[in-house]
Amino acid sequence: MKDFFKFEADFVDSLRCIPMQVRFKLDNCGVKLKLSHWNQFTEKECQTLVEMPCTSQEECQKYREFLQNLIVEKTGTPAKELLIEDNPAWMNEAEIPETIEQKAAESSLEITVEQWKKLTPLQRFALIKLSRPSHENKNFYPAVQEFGLAK
């Protein structure tokens, strides 16, 4: 999971923003990491958060502990913890979230369930995050192109 998406190329070299693969891990381990926290980390600490596994329950616990310790070390206060979803939308191969369908329609695209099924959980996660109304959505269409969903 060390690879970054092409649509993230403008900021991943410097890791000035939180990459999708780390955001994915944050949702898996239930920590609300702020950009202000991320920007206090050293390049090595950011790289560790990129490379550290966070899939199994044990890995997620270790990731959460490592991250919270790092945040406390930098800020003096732990980050807010989030509810970890039992069945997150990015793991549901059979149903495309409405926000993605709406965002795709804005670009005159239709994503089929067959296409959705072929995406990795991280790709589905990225599209979900990029389609949220509260998110700056400029990378939605580049992500759709990168994932082979647009011609």
Q: Are 17 and 35 in contact (CB under 8 A)?
A: yes
Of all residues in the chain, the percent with pLDDT exceeding 70 is 93
Residue 107 has pLDDT above 90, yes or no: no
15: left (phi over 0), alpha (psi -120 to 50) or beta: left
Across residues 4-11, what is the average pLDDT?
A: 84
What global pTM score does this model have? 0.91
Q: 98: which residues sit within 8 A by CB, 6+ positions away?
A: none
Output the pLDDT for position 17. Answer: 86
Bridge partners for 24 per DSSP: none
Around Cβ 146, how many Cβ atoms within 10 Å? 16
pLDDT tens-digit readout, 44-98? 999 999 999 999 999 999 999 999 999 999 999 999 999 998 899 999 999 999 9
Of all residues in the chain, the percent with pLDDT exceeding 90 is 79
Residue 136 has pLDDT above 70, yes or no: no
Tell me which of 74-88, 116-130, 133-147 is least confident: 133-147
Residue 41 has pLDDT above 70, yes or no: yes
Residues listed for the chain: 151
Residue 148 has pLDDT above 80, yes or no: yes
Q: How confident is the model at residue 111 (pLDDT cuts 50, 70, 90)?
A: very high
Phi and psi at 94, nearest 5°, equal -90, -10
